[in-house]
């Protein structure tokens, strides 16, 4: 199906090949970019770099506190980055609204960007279930109707087609 204009999609910057990961590398997803590239204008975002953590940097992860709260914490230095990340996400949401984003593709398993089944750790350092990356969580809370997906799921042709249909429908609701 032909669309009148490219969809404007946020994307985790490492998926485009930008060397923004904690180890200084990237996670370029050529299959995804090739499959969606002609339909999409990408808006590249690395929330961890944007909050000033730098590259390379100490890894961070989701930690479940004894009272049940899930926080974003640096693994070695145990710095709590939760409020910093949430405040930054809320600011970025305003910018995304001004940009008219049609959707977002997030990097799976990331404590900032992951949407589904992101590992959560206990304070003692043991696996403690699954959660959602904090940047993704704030964005999805603020823009609940906006289509979001993870890169791995978009390798499935049916899920990808469904995502594109959702993007189209969402864009129509914004202009009607
Ligand atoms: S997953 Fe998100 S926070 Fe991590 S490197 Fe990629 S864009 Fe940055």
Give per-residue pLDDT as tens, 75-113.
999 999 999 999 999 999 999 999 999 999 999 999 999
d(CA 148, CA 105): 6
Q: Is 146 helix (H, G, I), strand (E, B) or coil?
A: coil
Q: Binning pLDDT at 50, 70 and 90, where does residue 12 land?
A: very high
Identify the residue with better confidence: 7 or 2: 7
**pLDDT at residue number 5:** 92
pLDDT at 1 over 80: no
Give per-residue pLDDT as tens, 54-64.
999 999 999 99
Residue nearest (by alpha carbon) to ligand 1 atom 6: 14
Q: Binning pLDDT at 50, 70 and 90, where does residue 3 land?
A: confident
- In the chain, DSSP finds a helix count (H) and a strand count (E) of 5, 8
Of 43, 38, 23, 155, nearest to 99 by C-alpha is: 43
Probe target for ligand 1 pocket from 15, 17, 21, with the most ligand atoms within 8 Å of CB: 21
52: left (phi over 0), alpha (psi -120 to 50) or beta: left
Total Cβ atoms within 10 A of residue 168: 17
Evaluate: CB of 11 within 6 angstroms of ligand 1.
Answer: no
Class of the CATH domain delimited by 7-57+81-114+133-175:
alpha beta
pLDDT at 176 over 90: no
Q: Binning pLDDT at 50, 70 and 90, where does residue 46 land?
A: very high
In this structure, are residues 95 and 10 in contact, taking their beta carbons and an 8 Å threshold? no
In the reported structure, the alpha carbon of residue 134 is separated from the centroid of ligand 1 by a whole-number distance in angstroms of 12
In the reported structure, the alpha carbon of residue 80 is separated from the centroid of ligand 1 by a whole-number distance in angstroms of 18
Per-chain mean pLDDT for the chain: 97
**pLDDT at residue number 4:** 79
**pLDDT at residue number 175:** 81
Q: Are strands 148-150 and 60-64 parallel, antiparallel or unpaired?
A: unpaired
How is the chain split into domains, by residue range?
Answer: 7-57+81-114+133-175
Cα within 13 Å of Cα(68), Cβ side? 0
Total Cβ atoms within 10 A of residue 132: 21
Cα Rg of the chain, angstroms: 16
Tell me the H-state helices in 51-126.
82-99
In this structure, are residues 132 and 118 in contact, taking their beta carbons and an 8 Å threshold? yes
Its pTM surpasses 0.95:
yes
pLDDT at 9 over 80: yes
Tell me the H-state helices in 38-145.
47-50, 82-99, 134-142
Q: Binning pLDDT at 50, 70 and 90, where does residue 31 land?
A: very high
In the reported structure, the alpha carbon of residue 110 is separated from the centroid of ligand 1 by a whole-number distance in angstroms of 7
**Ligand 1 nearest atom to the CA of residue 13, by list position:** 7
78: left (phi over 0), alpha (psi -120 to 50) or beta: left
**pLDDT at residue number 96:** 98
Percent of the chain with pLDDT over 70: 99
């Amino acid at each position: 199906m032909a669309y009148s204009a490219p969809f404007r999609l946020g994307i985790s910057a490492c998926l485009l090949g930008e060397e923004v990961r904690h180890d200084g590398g990237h996670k370029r997803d050529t299959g995804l970019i090739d499959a969606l590239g002609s339909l999409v204008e990408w808006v590249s975002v690395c929330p961890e770099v944007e909050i000033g953590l730098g590259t390379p940097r100490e890894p961070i992860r989701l930690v479940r506190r004894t009272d049940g709260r899930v926080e974003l914490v640096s693994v070695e230095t145990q710095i709590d980055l939760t409020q910093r990340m949430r405040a930054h996400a809320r600011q970025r949401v305003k910018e995304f609204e001004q940009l008219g984003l049609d959707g977002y593709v997030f990097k799976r398993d990331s404590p900032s960007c992951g949407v589904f089944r992101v590992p959560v750790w206990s304070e003692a350092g043991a696996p403690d279930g699954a959660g959602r990356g904090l940047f993704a969580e704030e964005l999805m809370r603020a823009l609940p109707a906006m289509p979001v997906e993870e890169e791995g799921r978009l390798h499935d042709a049916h899920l990808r087609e469904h995502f594109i249909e959702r993007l189209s429908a969402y864009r129509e609701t914004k202009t009607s």
